[in-house]
Structure 1
């Protein structure tokens, strides 16, 4: 299975016309507001001697942070341009980066062969995946974690669309970051209540814990505070 041409073209176009600088994309918040906080959910279930795979790594902002907390960190992304940005932003090679189509079972199997069982960090990827590709993405997560790894999956809830709509309607209209999302046809989809847990279970994983959270964006409100999207987190793996 491969992702749609529209999906691949949209993401390649976005990253090809990006500088790759941290904070430029709407979602590319500082790791202190994202991965550091997210790891509090994963830590009780995860063996830090295993590697971690940051799926949908973009320019690698979160991957580089994760590298300091696990034996090895690998960022993967569908877009070759995103992977190129991530490598340029990491001249010391604290993490590795590669292009990978999560909807391709063979690609996920090959990565697992190289890494062994690995933890997975999947932040706001499923809602951007076409609905027909989501089971394959969940299956890739299951393949990568194997018997010992754990997956931390975070997805915005339906309420997030209201937050984004309100930002677009504020005085002055949408910010440049929001305009770029629309210009490149990056369509934030809605993951229905219960869908994430259902996808993980259908892929053979057990959901050990879940809860409400908020996804910090690099966008700020008029008072300087970061925009946060209502979300849920899930920790899953095999018993």
Structure 2
């Protein structure tokens, strides 16, 4: 079985076992602490007339938040179980969700044929991918941007692993929500802080702005404070 197939199997298993509803997954934090915190970083760069694609939407919590701010928002995820949760949790049918593998260049070209140029919100996806899929996803994302689209990408920083390890219990066991991730063979991938900007530039994109922000989780430290991971964000688009 390829690394990509194992990764899909792991995510289908995770979302298949997950309890529905917002806030159940480790990263499924309140949009006010997540997409709402990111919005000022990319809103001025995104053409509001273009569709916005939440690539790796999971159960759609952030997608629904963004749908209130852009005319057309589409959530895509390569795990069918995740898309099932997103649809079930979207009681008003606010957003369209699709099962789509962003590493599939034919599928991503077809999406561009349908939508035209689009903006992309990409949160915490690349570090969880099989390493060989990262370049494919960024290349296909660049194609979806076309000439007018822009991408906002945010990933945990190199130091995030140390922060995660700091919340292990005294017996070495992780907290419940982190344990649920590990139980399905999903482990935070180690990526250099320079990896995402380099991938974007290698695919013909120009970094317009970048910075650091805390990435909120739904887990707490032993003292009851929210666990936040250091993260790096970048906004990029086609070279003009």
- Place the TM-score, normalised by the shorter chain, in its bin: over 0.9
In structure 2, the CA distance between the partners of 1:93 and 1:75, relative to structure 1 (3 Å rule), is: same
Q: Name the SS for the 1:167 alignment partner.
A: coil
Could you tell me whether the CA contact under 8 Å between 2:193 and 2:232 is conserved in 1?
no
- Distance in 1 between the 2:110 and 2:19 partners? 30
TM (norm. structure 1) is 0.95
Unmatched segments (≥5 aa) in structure 1 = none
Q: Which runs of structure 2 are paired with 1:69-218 in the superposition (5 Å)?
A: 69-169=69-169, 173-218=173-218
Q: Is 1:55 aligned to residue 25 of structure 2?
A: no
Task: Return the alpha-carbon distance in structure 1 between the equivalents of residues 81 and 193 of structure 2.
Answer: 33
Whether the 8 Å CA contact 2:167–2:174 is kept in 1: the answer is yes
- CA distance in structure 2 between the aligned counterparts of 1:74 and 1:193, rounded to whole angstroms: 28
Question: After TM superposition, which residue ranges in structure 1, 4 or more long, deviate above 3 angstroms?
Answer: 169-173
1:15 correspondence with 2:25: no
* Shift in alpha-carbon separation, 1:119–1:229, aligned structure 2, 3 A: same
Q: 1:3 offset after TM fit, Å?
A: 6.4
Write the distance in 1 (CA, Å) between the matches of 2:226 and 2:144. Answer: 32
Moved more, 42-51 or 180-189: 42-51
Q: Residues 187-222 of structure 1, C-alpha deviation per residue, up to 9 Å, x if partnerless?
A: 210111311001011111111011111111111223
- The CA distance in 2 between the partners of 1:168 and 1:146, in whole Å, is 44
Cα distance, 1:90 vs. partner? 0.9
Other-structure match for 2:236: 236
Bigger Cα displacement from structure 2, 229-238 vs 86-95:
86-95
Contact 1:20–1:82 under 8 Å retained in 2: no
C-alpha change, 1:66 and 1:170, in structure 2 (3 Å) is farther
| Contact map agreement 2:76 2:98 (CA 8 A) in 1 | yes
SS in 1 for 2:107: helix
Report the Cα distance in structure 1 between the residues aligned to 2:56 and 2:159, rounded to whole angstroms: 22
Q: CA RMSD in A?
A: 1.5
| CA deviation after TM superposition for structure 1 residue 91, in Å | 2.5
> Where does structure 2 lack aligned partners over 5 or more consecutive residues?
none
